Amino acid sequence: MAQSFRITAPASTSNLGPGFDTLGMSLTLGLRLTLTPDAPGGFGVDIRGEGKGILPEDHRNWIVKTAREVAGDRVDNATWEMDNRIPVARGLGSSAAATAIGLTAGYLLRDGAVPARHVLFEGVVKKENHPDNAAATVFGGFRIGSRTPGGVWHTAPGVLPSSDFRVLLVVADQPIQTQYARSILPSKYSRSAVVRNIQSLATLLSGLERGDWDAVRRGCSDQLHEPYRLPLVPGLEEALSALRGNSEIGGAYLSGAGPVLAAFLPEPTTSVDVACEAIELLRVKGTGASAQVVEVQHHGLTVES
């Protein structure tokens, strides 16, 4: 029997409010690929879970195309079984996870080994062109990304509270393509907007490090992308406002390009029912939504044989 590899990459939530293209946090939702090189039956792609019936199950699949860039025609002799639990085009890093898995599969097919994490991160961020989701899905945990004036990407771990907090996700049914969500952002911002974001970012990072949820609530405020992206989905602004007004929530924000809303739950006993008002506000505006509670995933991408 041909040897198989199981490659798993986590979802990620980015920005966390004011950390536009900078902050990313890995979550316990995942995309898993079972890769069988030199499969007896030849090439085949099978998708289960999120994206089934939407994502291509042939050579056009993004994971396969990404792997081909590394391994060439070796991808044609493998089978690709994908089990996806990350909502697609919702602001939860599905693209970064798929790219990380595709690159890893390519290296396994070509070299029989997985590259160092920093090599994988560089490959993912080269395609994503922003480091937040890329760093979180490769390294896991809470990551801070940056780019030097010379164009070199870097990432470092951020500090999270030691308490057992969880993350609430309110997932609107309407997808938003990241490319479009980026295209609507202004090319210039006022000084006051930039200063407010710097203040919020500093407050957020300090609050997370100290486990000060009042500071986290104040820090989860953005002037650079949320005002432009929230109106894309009816009811999203109202839903986010409801989350921010709930005393059981320790800060809420638009995850990535949206439309997922994410929120910190400081108390482990807080149930998913805390999202009921937000979901109802979306429903009233004609937008269906669901909610789930997840945790931070700390180990990033994994490979098993």
Q: Provide the token pair at 152.
A: 């070199």
Domain ranges for the chain: 5-157+298-304, 166-294
Query: Looking at the DSSP assignment, which residues form a beta bridge with residue 143?
Result: 24, 157
Residue 272 pLDDT more than 70?
yes
CB-based contacts of 150, cutoff 8 Å, min separation 6: none
Q: Provide the token pair at 65.
A: 């195309």
pLDDT at 3: 86
Q: What is the mean pLDDT of the chain?
A: 96
Bigger pLDDT: 42 vs 237: 237
CA–CA dist 223, 236 (Å, integer): 16
Residue 39 pLDDT more than 90?
no
Count the residues in the chain. 305
H helices present in 26-143, as ranges: 62-71, 94-111, 117-128, 131-139
CA–CA dist 164, 69 (Å, integer): 40
Q: Provide the token pair at 185.
A: 């952002």
CA–CA dist 260, 296 (Å, integer): 16
User: Would you place residue 91 in the very low, low, confident or very high pLDDT band (cuts 50, 70, 90)?
Assistant: very high
Level-2 CATH architecture, domain 5-157+298-304: 2-Layer Sandwich (3.30)
Q: Which CATH number fits domain 166-294: 3.40.50.12280, 3.40.1260.10, 3.30.70.890, 1.20.120.1200?
A: 3.30.70.890
Do residues 225 and 14 lie in contact, with contact meaning Cβ atoms separated by under 8 Å?
no
Residue 89 pLDDT more than 90?
no
Q: Provide the token pair at 104.
A: 């890893």
CA–CA dist 293, 291 (Å, integer): 7
pLDDT at 240: 98
Q: Is the dihedral of CA 97, 105, 303, 118 positive or negative?
A: negative
pLDDT at 1: 54
Q: Provide the token pair at 180.
A: 């479009």
Bridge pairing between strands 23-36 and 5-14: antiparallel
The percentage of residues in the chain with a pLDDT greater than 70, rounded to a whole number, is: 99
